[in-house]
Amino acid sequence: MNWLSDNVNQLALLGAAVILILTIYVAGKYIRQMKTEKSTGVLAEENWDGIGEYKNELPAGWAYTFLGTIIWGMWYMIAGYPVDGYSQIGEYNDEVAQHTKMFESKWANADHETLKAMGEGVYLVQCSPCHGIAGDGMDGKAADLTVWGSADGVLETIKKGSKGLGFPMGEMPAGLLSGDAAKKVAEYVAGGMKGEQPAEFATCAGCHGPDGKGMGGMAPDISTYGSPDFVQMVLDHGKKGFIGTMVSFKGRLTPIQEKAVGTYILSLSHGE
């Protein structure tokens, strides 16, 4: 009798018993009535093939309820829905506006931990279908985010090239640098472009500019590589790259959410 320990099951069983008893009682009552009682009353004038009809008054409760529903129906048509300007879309818009306001004020100055936690939530819903729950890109089905944002990530990009972010400079060919040169540049870029610029960076400067800022929107600003700002840029642009296509999340995520996703992704490669 394990199932009886559930109170919903107990309630259902009780209800079933009550319904059964009531049915037997009511049916019995009417069957007895049909057997013994004779009908009385005034017959209406018309009859059909000898079958007549009594002139019965409507039961009061039934009649008032019927009248009530007619009056309520008229009120509903005229003063209630939909003529008084209520709409489901309006309610939705209000709800969203209210939520957006609350969201923005609540998380305007969110700290690192909060952003990371928020980012993880958004990541699991929006990003994990392609990049995988662990961010490893699921055997090359998408970019491996566990190295992205580090020197290894830059090395990957230099080795394989990059395309499809939608900048006027277009595709970055694979293998522009190799060996030690690539390594030096990778460490320099992943380190936030601080310290002395390696001479090999000249190869990158052709498109990204000597300061790496992308020459006013001609190419991606790689001085922000490895920061949430860069992730935000990729989320806004989408990417039609060598592995596959990533859609743009512009408008689907708020700037705070994008920053949160960036914070979370970086925690994957930086091991924070």
Partner 1 sequence: MFHWLEKRPFFFSVGVFLVIAFAGLIEIVPDFAQASRPVAGTKPYTLLQIAGRQTYIKDSCNACHSQLIRPFKSETDRYGPYSLSGEYAYDRPFLWGSKRTGPDLHRVGEYRTTDWHENHMWEPTSVVPGSIMPAYKHMFHQNVDLETAYAEALTDKIVFNVPYDQPGMPKLGNSKEDFPAAQKMALEEAKKIAAEMKNQDVKDAVARGEIPEIVALIAYLNSLH
Question: Among 10-18, 85-93, 151-159, 264-272, which window interacts with partner 1 (CB under 8 A)?
Answer: 85-93
Using the rule CB under 8 A, is 95 a contact of partner 1? Answer: yes
Residues 241-270 that bind partner 1 (CB under 8 A): 243-247, 252
Using the rule CB under 8 A, is 159 a contact of partner 1? Answer: no
- DSSP per residue, 33-77: HHHH----SPBPS--BTTB--B-PPPPHHHHHHHHHHHHHHHHHH
Q: In 3D, which of 124, 121, 88 has the Cα closest to residue 107?
A: 121
Using the rule CB under 8 A, is 42 a contact of partner 1? Answer: no
Encoded tokens for 125: 């819903």
Using the rule CB under 8 A, is 69 a contact of partner 1? Answer: no
Name the helix (H) or strand (E) containing 238.
none
Instruction: Pick the binder of partner 1 from 73, 121, 129, 168 (CB under 8 A).
Output: 129
Using the rule CB under 8 A, is 78 a contact of partner 1? Answer: no
Instruction: Pick the binder of partner 1 from 75, 76, 81, 92 (CB under 8 A).
Output: 92
CB-based contact 157:242 (threshold 8 Å): no
CB-based contact 190:150 (threshold 8 Å): yes
Q: Which residues bind partner 1 (CB under 8 A)?
A: 44-46, 53, 88-89, 91-92, 95-96, 99, 125-126, 129-130, 133, 138, 141, 243-247, 252
